[in-house]
Structure 1
Amino acid sequence: MNKVVASFYNSFLSEKVKEKSEVIIVYIAILSFILHLLLIGLVNLDFITVTDHSKLLSNPISAIYTPFSFILIYEVYLLLYYLPKSTSIYIGKQYEIISLIVIRRIFKDLSNLEVSLNWFSIKNDLLFTADLLAIVLLFFLIYIYYKLVKNSKVEKAEIMTPAISKFISLKKAIATCLVPVFLVLSVFSLGHWFYESFFSFSKIVTDIKDINKIFFDDFFTILILVDVLLLLFSFLHSDKFNIVIRNSGFIISTILIKLSFSTEGIMNIVLIVTAVVFGVALLKIHNLIDKIEK
């Protein structure tokens, strides 16, 4: 069984595969950006006709939204890649993903801005400003988070005990199983969203959920279940109080991110920032306890 898992793991989550995937995603992102711009040009020149409900074909700036969608998919792959290697970096990738989602939303909203003296009285412009402030704060919080990860004793070299070795093997098996789930979910979500956004002639298109809610809402639900499973298995090799609290807190942080997909406006931003602040605070306290125990 270990050989089978190792074979699949090396086929999907090895360093070599990661580097190839990065190159492929970059080319796909560039191609999708060009195709999106081409579609916008054809629509504006009346060569093709689409439903009036589609907002992603009205402004060239909105074309930036498409390549960012593929970059986000690669970030999810990196999340699976780091799952067996480091719990802290795995959580950090979740924070990167939600930050990129906010940036992508900013690019999308840029095409709908109403520049006027009454900026703060226009709801969409006010939310756009809140997103700008949120991304600066999130970027700074992620910097602090990775700085804390670097200083964390847990992330430094440890003696490889049989219990730790088995736990790492379990994480590799889980990450490997998540790859096909991620692929199926991403293909289905992107295909459904693409059809409904660009080619659906039904009025139902006005009620279609944002792609964030279609893919990431479901995917983060799966991550929560995985995090709980890993927390339970982590007791087999460590029952230190600060590690248990840290890992439990990371699950709460993931749940807050998941909840953000079911909200909109300021509440969405508050949940996202709170999730990252909570994770950073827990890691900081965890490191302080580690120093005391030295």
Structure 2
Amino acid sequence: MKQSYTIFEFLYRLLLSKETKKRAETFFVSLAIISFLLHLAIIALVDLKIILINDYSTLLSNPISAIYTPFSFILIYEVYLLVYYLPKSTTIYIGKQYEIITLIIIRRIFKDLTKLEFNSNWFASKANVNFTLDIVATIILFFLIYVFYNLNKRNEINQSKIQKTIDVNSFIRLKNVFAIVLIPIFLVLSIYSLAHWIYESFFSITQIVDTIKDINKIFFADFFTILILIEVLLLLFSFFLSDKFNKVIRNSGFIISTILIKLSFGTEGILNTILIVAAVLFGVIILAIHNKYDNLEVKSISTLES
């Protein structure tokens, strides 16, 4: 038993410690900068006809599209942060999901910039419509995430006032185990997805690729499916700690929010935007109502103490 605990502690320090988080941040930021410069260099070499790569790859046709590459690595780091915060705070973990989907949209905006058509009828072009939807969605999501974190602060204040009668250490340990298991899954998925995307986007010899391969559908759709399964398991285990109605609804609501994000990866255009905004808005509303329930409990405790 002691040996297994030692192994657990070793894996936790190796994968989820503050030092590892700092090293991961340095690594991915450095990788993002290097990849951006490398992408620009490849675009220049292709433009000068020094190297010949699949003519169908639009990622090599415009320097602006080079921004797409470093954002891919930043997103991978955000996924690591999501796993990092899973055992530490449920709401911050969910907030990281919202940050990821917002960054995906921002990255998509950089891709759409190379496809814009400037004419008198702006909305006649599908690319222009998608760009407009993404711009509006980014603003809405940015505000909703702010509201979500603001609500989380109020939630933390309420939780500090509510007496804890149940030992939550075992549940936190369980979340740590899930987070440790997610790290290798995340690494394998990210390496495979990135390699597959680079090959299909840049080096495919089939000449069938006429659009940028969507790495979101390769990696994030699968990863969010895994997150949904983890969240359902955590919801079930949470019943050992509390069967409070507002806690159950909050956790269930967060699962629904994650499912909506997952579904968005299989859609395009306005439906994609609606699903993403609806997912985040639903999570914000759920947390706001949950806080109202906690306020009632805090008032009840204050009344009893007085």
Flag whether TM exceeds 0.5 (same fold). Answer: yes
Equivalent residue in structure 1 for 2:269, among 254, 260, 265: 265
| Correspondences of 1:29-68 after superposition (within 5 Å) | 29-68=32-71
Q: Structure 1 CA distance, aligned partners of 2:187 and 2:158? A: 29
| Alignment correspondent of 2:243 | 239
Q: How many residues align?
A: 294
Q: Structure 2 CA distance, aligned partners of 1:45 and 1:203? A: 21
Question: What is the CA distance between 1:153 and its match in structure 2?
Answer: 4.2
| Correspondences of 1:203-218 after superposition (within 5 Å) | 203-206=207-210, 209-218=213-222
Equivalent residue in structure 1 for 2:135, among 132, 149, 155: 132
| Alignment correspondent of 1:173 | 177
TM-score of the superposition, structure 1-length normalised?
0.97
| Alignment correspondent of 1:77 | 80
Structure 2 regions of 5+ residues with no counterpart?
Answer: 299-306
| Alignment correspondent of 2:280 | 276
SS in 2 for 1:84: coil
Question: What is the CA distance between 1:3 and its match in structure 2?
Answer: 2.3
Instruction: Spell out, residue by residue over 1:191-237, the C-alpha distance to the aligned partner (whole angstroms, 9 max, x if none).
Output: 01001111111134347751000000000000000000000001111
Residue 185 of structure 2 aligns with an amino acid whose one-letter code is V
Task: Mark the CA change 1:207 to 1:35 in structure 2 (over 3 Å): closer, same or farther.
Answer: closer
Instruction: Spell out, residue by residue over 1:56-94, the C-alpha distance to the aligned partner (whole angstroms, 9 max, x if none).
Output: 000000000000000000000000100000000000000
Equivalent residue in structure 1 for 2:252, among 241, 248, 261: 248
Bigger mean CA offset, 46-55 vs 178-187? 46-55
SS in 2 for 1:117: coil
Structure 1 regions of 5+ residues with no counterpart?
Answer: none
Q: Structure 2 CA distance, aligned partners of 1:160 and 1:3? A: 28
Question: What is the CA distance between 1:2 and its match in structure 2?
Answer: 2.6
4+ residue runs of structure 1 moved beyond 4 angstroms? Answer: 153-162
SS in 2 for 1:51: coil
Q: Structure 2 CA distance, aligned partners of 1:15 and 1:262? A: 35
Whether contact under 8 Å (2:228, 2:258) holds in the other structure is yes
| Alignment correspondent of 2:301 | none
